[in-house]
């Protein structure tokens, strides 16, 4: 197919999705909570990465009589990045658009379809990075409710990270399914024995109790699913994230050079969150929408994370 001759920038549609990354979290996606988005001014270049030695460095701070002060530096290394463009096109058929109260509403819904796919693919890329880290298997799966020890497992991870970088990880990400298993472990139920009917509480209240029990400041639950069936086959739902794993990490921030971040999702600021364009395709009586963005997920300090497996 030849390239379209007139592509129109659709700021009216792009402006609808300034909160694309926030709505991704609302859809049960947790990746950007693990690797927050950071804007970069160019699609490739380098950025500072702190190492564990710099985080735990010591120095002589005593000034000699009338002498100069001793110095330390930032301790940053340089890492390269090269963003990749991700995007899809979707046709808005003129006949189909007549089912909507306005053509713009039809275009907005078409854009939402593409955004959902972009968000899922981003979630999968981050999942592959996280679940590709070296994992520590727990002795007793949390599904063994009578003898599982989630608190001890998390504490072991916190100690391991603290010993490497001097910071205690207090953020955890797990699947909704694994969270439900914690709620019925004997150890957790004993810790919450003075709370009336924990299983009847709302999800927010349950998360608050589990955070306290595990010694966490934040707990994110993934409940996003994918259709794992081949095209044309019966729908088969599968969790995006491995239900036998959970990820513990130092609380991340969205500052590219600051703190012991596990990693960031780099976004080209020129395209803001997403960039939507359109062009006409007369032979199909359609208006083609193209929604795209430039991103790369980069690990900065792997030692600030701890992957638990065999849960």
- Reduce the secondary structure of the chain to three states and give it as a string: CCCCCCCEECHHHHHHHCCHHHHHHHCCCCHHHHCCEEEECCCEEEEEEECHHHHCCCCCCCCCCCCCCCCCCCCEEEEEEECEEEEEEEEEEHHHHCCCCCHHHHHHHHHHHHHHHHHHHHHHHHHHHHHCCCEEECCCCCCCCCCCCHHHHHHHHHHHHHHHHCCCCCEEEEEHHHHHHHHCCHHHHHHCCCCCCHHHCCHHHHHHHHHHHHCCCEEEEECCEEECCCCCCCCCEEECCCCCCEEEECCCCCCCCCCCCCEEEEEEHHHCCCEEEEEEEHHHCEEEEEEEEEEEEEECCHHHEEEEECC
Query: Among 247, 235, 241, 229, which Cα is nearest to 176's?
Result: 241
Query: Among 305, 306, 304, 310, which Cα is nearest to 178's?
Result: 310
Domain holding 92, by residue range, is: 8-55+74-309
Per the domain annotation, does 51 fall within a domain? yes
Report field, pTM of the whole predicted structure over 0.75: yes
Per the domain annotation, does 86 fall within a domain? yes
Residue 36 CB partners (closer than 8 Å, separation 6+)? 252, 253, 254, 261, 264, 265
Per the domain annotation, does 66 fall within a domain? no
Q: List the chain pLDDT tens, one digit each, 311 residues.
A: 455 568 998 888 888 876 555 555 556 899 999 999 999 999 998 877 776 666 666 676 777 787 787 776 666 677 888 999 999 999 999 998 999 999 999 999 999 999 999 999 999 999 999 999 999 999 999 999 999 999 999 999 999 999 999 999 999 999 999 999 999 999 999 999 888 789 889 999 999 999 999 999 999 999 988 887 777 888 888 899 999 999 999 999 877 666 789 999 999 988 777 889 999 999 999 999 999 999 999 999 999 999 999 99
Per the domain annotation, does 279 fall within a domain? yes
Per the domain annotation, does 212 fall within a domain? yes
Per the domain annotation, does 112 fall within a domain? yes
CA atoms within 13 A on the CB side of 230: 0
CATH code: domain of residue 253: 3.90.1690.10
Q: How many domains does the chain have?
A: 1
Residue 209 and residue 192 in contact, taking contact as beta carbons nearer than 8 Å? yes
Per the domain annotation, does 282 fall within a domain? yes
Per the domain annotation, does 12 fall within a domain? yes
């Amino acid at each position: 197919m030849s390239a379209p001759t007139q592509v129109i920038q659709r700021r009216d549609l792009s402006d609808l999705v300034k909160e694309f990354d926030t709505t991704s979290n609302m859809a049960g996606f947790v990746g950007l909570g693990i690797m927050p988005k950071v804007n970069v001014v160019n699609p490739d270049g380098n950025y500072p990465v702190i190492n564990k030695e710099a985080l735990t460095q010591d120095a002589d701070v005593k000034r000699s009589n009338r002498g100069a002060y001793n110095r330390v530096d930032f301790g940053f290394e340089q890492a390269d990045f090269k963003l990749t463009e991700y995007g899809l096109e979707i046709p808005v058929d003129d006949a189909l658009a007549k089912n909507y109260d306005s053509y713009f509403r039809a275009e907005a819904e078409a854009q939402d379809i593409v955004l959902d796919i972009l968000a899922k693919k981003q979630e999968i890329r981050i999942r592959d990075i996280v679940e590709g880290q070296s994992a520590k298997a727990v002795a007793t799966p949390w599904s063994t409710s009578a003898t599982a020890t989630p608190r001890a497992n998390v504490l072991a991870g916190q100690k391991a990270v603290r010993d490497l970088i001097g910071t205690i990880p207090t953020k955890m990400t797990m699947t909704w399914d694994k969270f439900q298993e914690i709620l019925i472990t004997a150890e957790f139920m004993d810790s919450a024995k003075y709370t009336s009917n924990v299983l009847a509480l709302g999800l927010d209240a349950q998360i608050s109790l589990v955070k306290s029990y595990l010694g966490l400041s934040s707990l994110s639950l993934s409940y996003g699913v994918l259709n794992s069936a081949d095209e044309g086959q019966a729908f088969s739902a599968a969790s995006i994230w491995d239900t036998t794993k959970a990820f513990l990490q130092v609380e991340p921030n969205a500052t590219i050079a600051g703190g012991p971040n596990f990693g960031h999702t780099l976004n080209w600021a020129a395209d803001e969150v997403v960039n939507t364009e359109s062009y006409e395709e007369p032979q199909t009586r359609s208006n083609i929408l193209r929604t795209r963005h430039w991103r790369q997920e980069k690990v900065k300090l792997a030692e600030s994370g701890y992957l638990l497996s065999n849960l």
